[in-house]
Amino acid sequence: MDAKRLREMLAGVRDGRMDLDEAIESLRGWPFEDLDYAKVDHHRGIRCGFPEVVYGEGKTVDQLAGIFAKLAAVGGNVLATRASAEQFERVKGQHAEAEYHASARVISLRQREATWSAGTIAIVSAGTSDQPVAEEARVTAEMMDQRTVTIYDAGVAGIHRLLAHRETLQSANVCVVVAGMEGALPSVVGGLVACPVIAVPTSVGYGASFGGVAALLAMLNSCASGVTVVNIDAGFSAGYAAAMINRVGERAGGDG
């Protein structure tokens, strides 16, 4: 349940289009619904502006499908991250409109027409191997009705590939920059733009990258102002944060 759905319900009761008992029944699962193995948070859309997102890794097929179904039942958009193809097949059997973004390992179900943002989030990846994490960020932001533009395989080893997109970067309201190896790309982007840069270290790299720790530390020590950092491989976190920043900026009356 999100704020828009709640407003529609309350307006329906006020205008006589919905019976009071019907409205009460619709709210019966609030603020959460206990499934024994999970407590589904139906209030999150109202508190945070987007419904609870399901983390698929570590959940059985039945558990993920059960949580997904409860979230879908209230009519909002549903997102499941780090989901397997097997989990998707079960969800698809229940919700024919669900989509699987294989590279990002994300299941999405859009039940509400998008109200696209005016401003844009730029999603930038250093190498092709970083794209799955960048795609997780992109799908997340777009499910939150944010316009995105992608600039992939534009790492510092061929800096001209990035500079060819300077105008696109500088017109964005937020940049999400995904990189492994030495993690230098967010600092470079941070020196080119006047918007927040969300850096995402990936676990891509040889032994001394320590599974992304080298990139993480490099990003945390960036000399570029305006760079903030999320966890290793956390494309979802970056996409969600970028969407929230863009929303706040647009509510304040600016789109760049």
pLDDT tens-digit series, residues 116-149: 999 999 999 999 999 999 999 999 999 999 999 9
CATH number at residue 177: 3.40.50.1970
Q: Point out the domain boundary residue: 90, 109, 128.
A: 109
Q: Point out the domain boundary residue: 59, 83, 109.
A: 109
Q: What is the pTM of this model?
A: 0.84
Token pair belonging to 44 = 């999150």
Cα pseudo-dihedral 212, 127, 169, 238, rounded to 10 = -40
Both 51 and 105 in one domain: the answer is yes
Both 131 and 247 in one domain: the answer is yes
Cβ 81 vs Cβ 106: under 8 Å? yes
What pLDDT shows up at residue 105? 96
Q: Point out the domain boundary residue: 109, 135, 153.
A: 109
Measured distance CA(178)–CA(138) in Å, rounded: 11
Please report which confidence band the pLDDT of residue 42 belongs to, taking 50, 70 and 90 as the band edges: confident
Both 33 and 102 in one domain: the answer is yes
Write out the residue range of the structural domain in which residue 35 sits.
Answer: 3-109
- Nearest-5° Cα angle at 21, 18 to 23: 55
Number of domains in the chain: 2
33 or 68, which is more confident: 68
